[in-house]
Amino acid sequence: MIVLSLRAIVFYLMAYQNSLVYAKQLDREDPLSYLREEFHIPGDKHGKEWLYFTGNSLGLQPKTTSKYIKQELDDWANFGVEGHFEAKNPWLSYHELLTDKMAKIVGAKPIEVVVMNTLTTNLHLLMVSFYQPTKTKYKIIIESDAFPSDRYAVQSQLSFHGFDPDEALIEWKPKEGKELLELEDLKSILDVHGDEVALLLIGGVNYYTGQYLDIKKIAELGHAKDCMVGIDLAHGAGNIQPNLHDSCVDFAAWCTYKYLNSGPGSLSGLFVHEKHAQRKDLPRFAGWWNHNKETRFNMRQPFDVMEGAEGWQLSNPPILSMAAIKASLDIFEKVGMDALLKKSKQLTGFFEYLIHQIASDTIKIITPTHPNERGCQLSLQVKNADKNLHRKLTENNIITDWREPDVIRCAPVPMYTSFEDVYCMVKTLESLL
C-alpha cells in the first residue's frame, strides 16, 4: 500500500481554497466542464437541479441515448428481421461495435472483452470455467465486506460443488479497528491456506469504502499459490483504470449502469485474459453465440467454441440495451480515461479538503487518502448519525447513498459533477450537522 507522509498530505490538501469563488474558478478552468451539458441532470418539481452524487449506483443519462435507441427502433420498424443485416448498425454484429471502446476503458485487448448478460450471471458463467475445485483445493477467498451479490454467488457455487460455504469460504478482513484491506493480510491467508484455495474473487474497488485495490499484486499473490484470480469491477469500470491485461488476472466482470451510464439494469462487461483465449479445454456453458461465427448459421455443425472472450457469449445481443451503452462509450472514446482520471482526482481532492474543514470529530473519511488508491468515491462516516441525515440531504436536493450503519457514499463523477456541486454539497452537509 502506498502511504503519503504527513507533509505530503498537508501539501496536497493545502492546494485548495474553501470558497464558492474558488470552486467556480476551478469549473471555468476545467477542460471537461462542457461534458455536463451532455447529460440530463435530474431536478425537483420546481426545476431545480439535484446535486447528484450517486453515479456509483446509477449513472446519469447521456442526452444522445434516446437518439441511439430511436435509431434501432426506426430500423426495426423499417426493416423488421432484415435489420440484422440492413440496419445502420447491423444487429448481427452489434456487440462488436462496443468491444474496442470498452477494452480501452478497462485496459484490455479487444479479444479479451465482450459485452453480454448482467454482472452476477457473468460471474457464474466465468466460475463454471475458472472454479474447478478438487477434494483438496476447493476454497474461495473474497473480501470480508464484499458486495452481497458476490458473496451469494460464491456461496452458491461452493454449495453446487458439494462444499460447505461456512468452511470453504475464506474472508480477507481488515485489521481489527481498521476499515481498509492490506495486501500483507491477503498474503498471510495464502501462506496458510494457499494449497487449499482454488479461486480468489475480489472486488477491485470496494463498494463500501471506495478502496481501489492493487489488482496486479493480488493476481501475483494468487497465482503464486496456483489459484485462479477473478475481479469484480462493478465499482471500477469507468471509474479507475484497472489495466486488466497487464494485471494478468484470469477474468473480470462489471456492470455498465454505474459509471458507464448505460441505464438501469443494463448489460455487463466481461474480460478473459488472452492467455486463456485459445483454451478450448476449459469447461463452459455453450449457446448459439459462442459458436464459431463462420459456421453459426449452418445450424447443424457440432459446437465449435470461439476464441477469446466471445467464447463465453451465449445469446444474440439485446440491441436496445447495447444502443444505450454505445451512446455512453462514444463519450468515453471522445474524452479518454486519462483526462477523466485527472479530473476525478481533482474533484475528490477538493471534496476531501472541504470535508476536513468540518470538525474532524464529526466526520471521518474511510476512503484511502492517496488518490491512486481510490476512484471518485468518498465514503463519509458520520458520528452519531442515522439515515435521517441522508433524508435531510435528499430534502435539500442532494442525492447521496446511505450505507448502514453510519456511512454516506458520495461519488463526484468527473463527466457531470462540477466543483461548485462539491462545494455546495459540503456546505449543506455542514449546516445540517
Average pLDDT, integer, range 174-193: 97
Q: Which residue has the cell 463452459?
A: 284
Range scoring the smallest mean pLDDT among 5-19, 358-372, 398-412: 5-19
HSE, CB side, 13 Å, CA atoms: give it for residue 268: 23
Q: What pLDDT, on the 0 to 100 scale, is given for residue 12?
A: 52
* Residue 327 covered by a domain: no
Q: Which residue has the cell 485548495?
A: 16
Q: What pLDDT, on the 0 to 100 scale, is given for residue 15?
A: 82
Angstrom distance (rounded) from CA 410 to CA 54: 6
Cβ 182 vs Cβ 160: under 8 Å: no
Let me know whether 306 and 368 are in one domain: no
Residue 221 pLDDT class (50, 70, 90 cuts): very high
* Residue 148 covered by a domain: yes
- The CATH number of the domain holding residue 372 is 3.90.1150.10
Strands 51-52 and 113-116: unpaired
Average pLDDT, integer, range 118-126: 97
Let me know whether 253 and 350 are in one domain: no
Let me know whether 218 and 263 are in one domain: yes
Please give the helix or strand (H or E) that residue 170 lies within, else none: strand 169-172
Average pLDDT, integer, range 348-376: 92
Q: pLDDT per residue over 56-101, tens digit each?
A: 999 999 999 999 999 999 999 999 999 999 999 999 999 999 999 9
Residue 3 has pLDDT above 50, yes or no: no
Mean pLDDT of the chain: 94
Q: What pLDDT, on the 0 to 100 scale, is given for residue 11?
A: 46
Residue 169 Ramachandran class (φ > 0 left, ψ -120 to 50 alpha, else beta): beta
Angstrom distance (rounded) from CA 334 to CA 316: 28
Let me know whether 371 and 406 are in one domain: yes
At 205, phi and psi to the nearest 5? -125, 120
* Residue 325 covered by a domain: no
Let me know whether 261 and 382 are in one domain: no
HSE, CB side, 13 Å, CA atoms: give it for residue 351: 31
Among candidate residues 388, 426, 428, 420, the one with its CA nearest the CA of residue 41: 420
Residue type, 292: N
Let me know whether 210 and 143 are in one domain: yes
Global pTM reads 0.94
Let me know whether 157 and 299 are in one domain: yes
Q: What pLDDT, on the 0 to 100 scale, is given for residue 295?
A: 87
Angstrom distance (rounded) from CA 373 to CA 96: 32
Q: What pLDDT, on the 0 to 100 scale, is given for residue 194?
A: 97
Let me know whether 53 and 140 are in one domain: no
Q: What pLDDT, on the 0 to 100 scale, is given for residue 362?
A: 86
Cβ 112 vs Cβ 272: under 8 Å: yes
* Residue 110 covered by a domain: yes
Residue 14 has pLDDT above 80, yes or no: no
- What does the longest C-alpha to C-alpha distance in the chain come to? 70
Let me know whether 196 and 280 are in one domain: yes
Q: pLDDT per residue over 40-61, tens digit each?
A: 999 988 888 999 999 999 999 9
HSE, CB side, 13 Å, CA atoms: give it for residue 82: 4
Q: How many domains does the chain have?
A: 2
* Residue 326 covered by a domain: no
Q: What pLDDT, on the 0 to 100 scale, is given for residue 383?
A: 87
Which residues, at least 6 apart from 393, have a Cβ–Cβ distance to it below 8 Å?
A: 399, 400, 408, 428, 429, 432
Residue 202 has pLDDT above 70, yes or no: yes
- The CATH number of the domain holding residue 116 is 3.40.640.10
Residue 10 has pLDDT above 70, yes or no: no
* Residue 160 covered by a domain: yes
Angstrom distance (rounded) from CA 61 to CA 65: 7
Among 283, 316, 349, identify where a domain stops.
Answer: 316
Among candidate residues 250, 141, 251, the one with its CA nearest the CA of residue 202: 141
HSE, CB side, 13 Å, CA atoms: give it for residue 233: 30
Which residues, at least 6 apart from 309, have a Cβ–Cβ distance to it below 8 Å?
A: 111, 112, 113, 114, 270, 271, 272, 277
Angstrom distance (rounded) from CA 433 to CA 424: 14
Residue 287 has pLDDT above 70, yes or no: yes
Q: What pLDDT, on the 0 to 100 scale, is given for residue 416?
A: 98
Residue 2 pLDDT class (50, 70, 90 cuts): very low
Angstrom distance (rounded) from CA 329 to CA 403: 29
- Domain residues for the domain of 118 are 95-316
- DSSP codes joined into one string, 171-231: EE-PPTT--S--HHHHHHHHHHHGGGEEEEEEESB-TTT-BB--HHHHHHHHHHTT-EEEE
At 169, phi and psi to the nearest 5? -95, 120
Among 282, 316, 350, identify where a domain stops.
Answer: 316
Among 316, 348, 367, identify where a domain stops.
Answer: 316
Among candidate residues 287, 298, 252, 280, the one with its CA nearest the CA of residue 106: 252
